[in-house]
Chain A
Amino acid sequence: MASRKEGTGSSTTSSSSTVGAGGKGKGKSSSGDSAVKQVQIDGLIIIKHYQEEGQGTEVVQGVLLGLVVEDRLEITNCFPFPQHTEDDADFDEVQYQMEMMRSLRHVNIDHLHVGWYQSTYYGSFVTRALLDSQFSYQHAIEESVVLIYDPIKTAQGSLSLKAYRLTPKLMEVCKEKDFSPEALKKANITFEYMFEEVPIVIKNSHLINVLMWELEKKSAVADKHELLSLASSNHLGKNLQLLMDRVDEMSQDIVKYNTYMRNTSKQQQQKHQYQQRRQQENMQRQSRGEPPLPEEDLSKLFKPPQPPARMDSLLIAGQINTYCQNIKEFTAQNLGKLFMAQALQEYNN
């Protein structure tokens, strides 16, 4: 009976202390419009993620379960989606999800769907697919987030887990599905304001803390110091390669846009000229006493060229931005390490 009291006691204290901790609000909160100011993750999730990813190098996706407390999103459990390795037509993702959630409800796990997660390869996650998925999630559930975690970066020693949401402006644009340049200009979206990052906080219950102490005593696995390794060129090279590819795509996109602009302006000019000629002819005809020519529908004569979708270029810009951020973080760390090595070597001599 002592055990049960301990158990229930700990769960109630954890829920009450989360409310208390929410008031303190660790970390800076993002732009105030959004519904979620902080994401709170149970330690269990972190271990689960990395355990799944450890099995393969493909992209792993899954569902986050939890609940919303005031302006905080608490994530308490998660489960992965199977990979679409075979073209299994009768495999139903929705059904899988429903079954899982139903089963989890039986064992009292929170079955509220609050978001999804995805693993990423070197930080390349800003894609159309992600945008669409996150939009549908956020549309259905106001406070959902997408958790991005980078296993490669984590294998280098630092946990890399980020939570993103779409900004409200972007939500509106997506709702209207209007990605023309004018609409985007009106909404005043730049690539920096597409996704907002929500600070993450990790929380553990008392019992899990006890477990951690046990593990620490028992596990004799040597501490791996990859974080301090100086071999960085491989990682840096790959990052730069991806960045270069993106920049190439971006330049192509810019060229397309420029041609479009040029075509539009040329067309404007042609329209203008045509109108002027028309007017002149009409004046001549009037002077000669003939009926004026009917006003022709200019828009039928001069079909305006299709404006290119601006969403792709926004995404590419966003992706480039992420890559640059990653690279900068990485180089900052490495510079620190190099200076340490220098100090060590000087002392040696």
Chain B
Amino acid sequence: MATPAVSASAPPGTPAPAPAAAPVSVPTSVPAPAPTPAPAAAPPSAGTPALSSDPAAAAATTAAPGQTSASAQAPAQTPALALPGPALPGPFPGGRVVRLHPVILASIVDSYERRNEGAARVIGTLLGTVDKHSVEVTNCFSVPHNESEDEVAVDMEFAKNMYELHKKVSPNELILGWYATGHDITEHSVLIHEYYSREAPNPIHLTVDTSLQNGRMSIKAYVSTLMGVPGRTMGVMFTPLTVKYAYYDTERIGVDLIMKTCFSPNRVIGLSSDLQQVGGASARIQDALSTVLQYAEDVLSGKVSADNTVGRFLMSLVNQVPKIVPDDFETMLNSNINDLLMVTYLANLTQSQIALNEKLVNL
């Protein structure tokens, strides 16, 4: 692999691109003491040197602003060229994005609910695939561990076994990192992170705040980077990454359905019948349309200042309804309705046929 050679040439001591050298040097030069648990408020240098062009291994961190924002801001594809230079404030020029599937979060919450008595948090392994520009986490499993004031023990055998089993089902998944519930990154996290860095190059650490501090369940991802004065003992810092949510189509629909339980008093819902679903979907569109209408009225009456981009979107929306000559539309509509009716008739006919056959056979 080209990676080790490249990073080995850049000595870990160089100040600005130091985080770039992190992947290989982390396992070797991280001393246990003096880790900085807090996620960095001021990100270190944002330079993603030539390493970023390497698809397989983990590249440097992003200089993302502290909060995870899955907003529409462009996920900042890694540029193929190096970006040397000092730290850039503001939006990051390039780096890793972590794409999470909702199944991960649901599993984490579920294992948190099932944790042993006395355990304050749960940890587990993240599985997924690595892509040129992003890391996609598609599966996870929890790993039993014991944590006390001064020591932490993780059952790595178990983790290995589970990984083997999971590999049989989906051979493409790799160990990407680990997760933990809880609000902060503690000292033990560094140790556990070190365990995991033996399994995967530059592992990702995901925290899910199940203690609901600030009234929200914050979900954050970190990568560890070196920091400190070159030539002396180096410390480790966890730098945040952008978290985005990725769904397969079917997942999206499943999640939508589950969201409905938020509104029912028992948190129980049943599956709805066919026409109800169509009704539901059209109600949603109706809501969206009324919001748009409201906005248009506000703009007209001067309450809200007009925005050209929104105006253009609205224009394209209105133009999407096709203008069809009414007669043509009638014919199309009628032929479609005829098809559907015919199929319904055939289906009913078939059903009565087999019922009849059944009766005859049993005579």
Contacts and interface: CB of A to CB of B under 8 A. Distances in A.
Contacts of A313: 361
B275 A27 contact: no
Nearest to B279: A336
Given A221-B252, A349-B326, A103 B72 contact: no
Interface of B is mostly: helix
Interface in B267-295: 267-272, 274-275, 277-279, 281-282, 284-285
A211 B324 CA distance: 45
B105 A211 contact: yes
Contacts of B211: 2-3, 6
Contact of B112 (A48, A79, A207, A226): A207
Q: Could you say which interface size class chain A belongs to?
A: 35 or more
A288 B292 CA distance: 109
B287 to A, nearest CB: 11
Contacts of B138: 51
A43 interface: yes
A107 B114 contact: yes
Interface stretch (A133-141, A152-160, A277-285, A291-299): A152-160
A312 interface: no
A212 B109 CA distance: 11
For B68, B102, B250, B346, which residue has the most chain A Cβ atoms within 10 angstroms? B250
Contacts of A208: 106, 109-110, 258
Given A214-B219, A335-B337, A44 B343 contact: no
Nearest to B350: A324
Nearest to B181: A3
A201 B266 CA distance: 11
Contacts of B282: 228, 340
A284 B167 CA distance: 84
For B68, B216, B259, B355, which residue has the most chain A Cβ atoms within 10 angstroms? B259
Interface residues of B, number: 96
A220 B70 contact: yes
Nearest to A184: B362
Interface in A189-242: 190-192, 199-216, 218-221, 223-228, 233, 236, 240
Interface of A: 2-4, 6-7, 10-11, 14, 17, 20-21, 24, 26-27, 40, 42-44, 46-55, 76-77, 79-83, 91, 96, 99-100, 103, 106-109, 151, 154-155, 157-159, 161, 181, 184-185, 188, 190-192, 199-216, 218-221, 223-228, 233, 236, 240, 243, 247, 250, 254, 257, 310, 313, 317, 320-321, 323-324, 327-338, 340-342, 344-345, 348-349
Interface of B: 68, 70-72, 101-103, 105-107, 109-116, 120, 122, 138-139, 141-144, 155, 158, 161-162, 165, 168-170, 182, 210-212, 216-217, 219, 245, 247-255, 257-259, 261-262, 266-272, 274-275, 277-279, 281-282, 284-285, 321, 323-324, 326, 329, 333, 336-337, 339-341, 343-344, 346-348, 350-351, 354-355, 357-358, 361-362
